[in-house]
């Protein structure tokens, strides 16, 4: 007969889950452009709820620990690359709360082994989701680049300066192009060099095409010439590269699907085995040989996944 879970442990698990959900809406999904209460109603004294005080204290403690270590687990640059307007401390706090709540939930459902698995899976899933967001943002930025170049050249031929053309393109474009161009304009207006701002955008978005545009503008500032015509030639090159990129993506789609099936099939079969015959699967979750087999399988899946990722990611 299975041992019953203590009531106090169940209550603690449910409380942890609710705390993680509250932190999700209070920290991560909080609107970025919120006017403070002191500006909306100056006559009302500012008060903070107990949850806000606890959250702010935790974020402050994490920020103190992260001083001088910008690349610890997650940095501001990684969050900006993914398009998330939040602080690294907020992301780490949400990750810790989700891992804690997930581990308690997994322990209540399947025991200590599943608690540890979920505790490790939640941070890994959040980092993977961060990488997916960054890849999607980069892909969308690259797709918007030819049209943005066309707007830039059209504005400059109409008589506008380069900075004014960038500002007009930022107003007419969608995110993430509008966000990056508006950031270039704002940084230039407060005294930063235009070339440095554009180079930072190329690094932040990981766009080699935008780096070419930045280099073309820097060369034009040194030697002069018709910048609109130069950008037209760069735009033609970028369009040709995008066409080749789409062809490569279509040809490698079958390999990517095969890699996903080969990577996901052992995991799906393992959990299906747990649901079909839990007693048979208990060998893997309660004995030393089972742990060794699971560790070996994880290492082999990781090595195979890395190998497949290199095969389906051609350079051109």
The number of C-alpha atoms within 13 Å of 240 and in the hemisphere containing its C-beta is 7
Phi and psi at residue 85, to the nearest 5°: -95, 70
CB 144 within 8 A of CB 169: no
- Residue-averaged pLDDT of the chain: 77
Q: What percent of the chain clears pLDDT 90, i.e. is strictly above it?
A: 2
- Domains of the chain: which residue ranges? 1-31+48-110, 138-251, 253-316
Buried b (16+ CB within 10 A) or exposed e, 189-200: eeeeebeebbbb
The pTM assigned to this predicted structure is 0.67
Alpha carbon distance 249, 243 (integer Å): 10
**Cα-based angle 79, 34, 42 (whole degrees, multiple of 5):** 145
Indicate the fold that domain 138-251 takes in CATH: Receptor-associated Protein (1.20.81)
For residue range 200-245, list pLDDT tens digits in order: 988 888 888 898 888 888 888 888 778 888 888 888 888 888 888 8
Q: 148: how many CB neighbours lie within 10 A of its CB? A: 22
Alpha carbon distance 105, 10 (integer Å): 9
152 Cβ contact partners less than 8 Å away, ≥ 6 residues apart: 162, 165, 166, 169, 228, 231
């Amino acid at each position: 007969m299975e041992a019953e879970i203590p009531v106090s442990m169940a209550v603690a698990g449910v409380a942890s889950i609710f705390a993680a959900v509250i932190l999700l809406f209070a920290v991560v999904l909080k609107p970025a452009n919120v006017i403070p209460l002191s500006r909306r109603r100056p006559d009302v004294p500012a008060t903070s709820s107990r949850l806000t005080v606890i959250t702010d204290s935790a974020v402050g403690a994490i920020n103190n620990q992260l001083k001088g270590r910008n690349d610890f687990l997650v940095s501001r640059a990684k969050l900006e690359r993914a398009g998330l307007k939040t602080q690294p401390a907020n992301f780490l706090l949400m990750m810790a709360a989700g891992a804690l709540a997930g581990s308690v939930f997994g322990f209540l459902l399947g025991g200590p082994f599943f608690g540890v698995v979920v505790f490790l899976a939640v941070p890994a899933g959040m980092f993977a989701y961060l990488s997916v967001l960054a890849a999607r943002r980069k892909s969308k930025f690259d797709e918007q680049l030819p049209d943005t170049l066309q707007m830039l050249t059209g504005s400059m031929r109409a008589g506008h300066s380069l900075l004014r053309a960038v500002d007009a393109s930022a107003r007419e474009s969608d995110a993430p192009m509008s966000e990056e161009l508006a950031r270039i304009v704002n940084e230039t207006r407060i005294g930063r060099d235009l070339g440095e701002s554009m180079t930072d955008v190329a690094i932040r978005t990981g766009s080699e095409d935008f780096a070419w545009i930045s280099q073309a503008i820097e060369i034009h500032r040194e030697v002069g010439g018709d910048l609109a015509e130069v950008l037209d030639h760069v735009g033609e090159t970028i369009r040709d590269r995008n066409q080749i990129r789409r062809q490569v993506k279509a040809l490698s789609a079958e390999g990517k699907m095969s890699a996903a099936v080969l990577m996901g099939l052992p995991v799906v079969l393992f959990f299906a085995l747990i649901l079909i015959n839990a007693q048979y699967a208990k060998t893997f979750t309660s004995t030393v040989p089972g742990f060794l087999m699971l560790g070996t399988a994880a290492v082999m899946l990781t090595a195979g996944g890395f190998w497949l990722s290199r095969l389906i990611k051609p350079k051109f």
